[in-house]
Structure 1
Amino acid sequence: MKRYDAEIGERTFQRDLAEIRSNFDIDIIYDEQRNGYYLLKDSTLYIDQLLYFIGLAESSDIALSTLKDKNRLSGYVSISPNPKSKGVEHIGWLLRAIQYRQVITIIHCSYQRGEQTTYTVEPYLLKEFEGMWYLFAYCEDIKAFRTFGLDRIGQIQITDRTFQRKEELERTAEKFDNVYGLVYEPDNNPNAPIEEVRLKVSSVMLPYIQSLPIHSSQTIDGDTITLHLIINPELENKIMGYGEHIEVLSPPSLRNKIKERMKQSLSRYDD
């Protein structure tokens, strides 16, 4: 097999396909009618996430090799003094624990209290939000789900205990796909509904929201964006952050909430 100036043996190619199937649960099959190899339809569901992780790994390799010339290249790169990548070293271990349903013990530091607390948890989900990574896990001691920022996890110990992923807890974890950000409080509002949110966006801001959607459910019709998600404080903060460039059209409850928050903000500037 030869293409793009690279020659691959049939045995090597089949081994690669088997490894992709084993490691990523993605099937690539030969289609005689199209005379080529293609992903099975169901396998494309997570291809964006797979490519994202591959991109992370590739970028890491490039960055590490580039560091050899750090003195020469330092004038071309501006890096925040507080980069958001802290804690990503835990991702591999956490993914393994989630996949094999292993109970883990973590040491978590609270920024508010300045204290370190040890938790024994059943890990269910990793979520990335605005460059930061979070673990969504069921805490045995308090019998509730909690979200832990990976940047605040100082140590992880994988125990020899396993757990069964409970169906009702699976449904709770899945609801995180229906929120903007991280604030979904199943203990306080377990039946929070998914609502349709319609936003009118200025012509200045619309291209930015097109290229960086607010939520995976986002659709755009003219200057109106429609979202289907659970409304939470982080969505309100996001909308407030757009200032005069965005107007909540519906639902009325969210429109009124943003209106009241804007009034409170303006009152702080009264002389």
Structure 2
Amino acid sequence: MAYKHDYDKILTRLTVILSKLNDGEALSVKELAKEFNTSERTIQRDFNERLASFPIYQEKKKWKMQEGYKIEKTQSLEDEIVLDIMEKITEGIGGKFSTKAHKLLSKIKNEDFNPIYTKLNIEDISDKFGDIQVLETAIREKKELQCFYSNEKHELYTTTIQPLKIVNFEGFWYLIALQDDILKKYYLKNISQPKLLEVTFEPEDELEKLLDNSLSIWFQRDNEPFEVKLYADKLATKYFKRRPLPTQKIDSLNSDDTMEFSVTITHEMEILPIVKYWIPRLYILAPQWIKEMVEDDLQEYLEASRFIIED
């Protein structure tokens, strides 16, 4: 969960980008990255994810607004866009959080119509607001905390941790924390009764970079990063060009609209679910041991399915 200044930077950047698009400009990722002093990957993520609800498209490495579409400037353009985006993001979270946010935003907007639609499958954590406030305080003040945690076996135990960041991966909320200098991830809903301690600590310096380069919650701080090479067919190529993975690097674009590309990861589970989701349109070329893991899982699946059908 980003701090306030992080949100301010993101919202300012998005509204400036949309304002430029609304005025008919064709925008380059490279030029925008230089203008906002950020990475090209971050700008690409703005277009592919944060602004995906708007009718924008990429042509010859330039992003444009669909012809004929215009955001009405009935209010300040920046204010209107920010409110619309905020409303749709909070709807995706659901529960009490969404209800309260909608009421507050409605008071500001004074209208019910919103031209933006998003489908975010984010779990509801509105019942954890009290605990989250304690976690945020501990992160901000760099204080250790003690809490109860229920593990995968539903065993409840007490632990003392150094909380670093509240994050969301694939719709699920986690707390990233240090315990005995080991970077761990705690499922947020399994944390209860957090209590601030007076012991302070120094946060992990490389966490932001680690999060930016991660493909999923399976990332590991202490593992040596390694490269996975993949082949995408025509359909998968279109998707992975439109929405590239963190650390994605295109190795070759082929004449039949397929491509070979690579990603750098720290744990095999960062890439395995993605490959399985895209079967048979995405293939692992290397390393061999990950390719064999996919093949073994497929073999196990086929044997199990035959057993179930025959039974």
Q: 1:267 to 1:40 in 2, by over 3 A?
A: closer
Identity of aligned residues (%): 16
Partner Cα separation in structure 1 for residue 34 and residue 148 of structure 2: 41
Q: 1:162 to 1:64 in 2, by over 3 A?
A: same
Structure 1 counterpart of 2:227, from 186, 196, 203: 196
Partner Cα separation in structure 2 for residue 65 and residue 101 of structure 1: 31
Q: Superposition pairs for residues 25-174 of structure 1, below 5 Å?
A: 44=38, 55-56=85-86, 59-60=89-90, 63-64=102-103, 84-86=123-125, 89=129, 93-110=134-151, 112-140=152-180, 144-165=182-203, 170=205
SS of the equivalent of 1:260 reads helix
Partner Cα separation in structure 2 for residue 193 and residue 92 of structure 1: 34
Higher relative strand content? 1
Q: 1:104 to 1:131 in 2, by over 3 A?
A: same
Give yes or no for contact 2:173–2:188 (8 Å, CA) kept in 1. yes
Count of residues paired in the alignment:
222
Q: Which amino acid aligns with 2:182?
A: A
Give yes or no for contact 2:145–2:161 (8 Å, CA) kept in 1. yes
Q: Which amino acid aligns with 2:274?
A: K
Q: Superposition pairs for residues 166-245 of structure 1, below 5 Å?
A: 170=205, 175=210, 177-184=212-219, 190=222, 192-213=223-244, 215-220=245-250, 221-222=252-253, 223-245=259-281
Deviation at 1:234, TM superposition (A): 4.0
Q: 1:108 to 1:174 in 2, by over 3 A?
A: farther
Partner Cα separation in structure 2 for residue 39 and residue 92 of structure 1: 33
Q: 1:47 to 1:245 in 2, by over 3 A?
A: closer
Q: Which amino acid aligns with 1:159?
A: L
Deviation at 1:247, TM superposition (A): 0.8
Partner Cα separation in structure 1 for residue 118 and residue 164 of structure 2: 35
Deviation at 1:99, TM superposition (A): 3.3
Deviation at 1:244, TM superposition (A): 0.8
SS of the equivalent of 2:234 reads coil
Q: 1:149 to 1:211 in 2, by over 3 A?
A: farther
Give yes or no for contact 1:179–1:232 (8 Å, CA) kept in 2. no
Partner Cα separation in structure 2 for residue 78 and residue 120 of structure 1: 38
Give yes or no for contact 2:219–2:270 (8 Å, CA) kept in 1. no
Give yes or no for contact 1:106–1:153 (8 Å, CA) kept in 2. yes
SS of the equivalent of 2:102 reads helix
Unaligned runs of 5+ in 1: 1-18, 29-37
Partner Cα separation in structure 2 for residue 184 and residue 39 of structure 1: 26
1:165-219 Cα deviation digits (max 9, x unpaired)? 4xxx545885455443222456xxx4x3222222112222333333443x31113
Deviation at 1:224, TM superposition (A): 2.3
Give yes or no for contact 1:180–1:232 (8 Å, CA) kept in 2. no
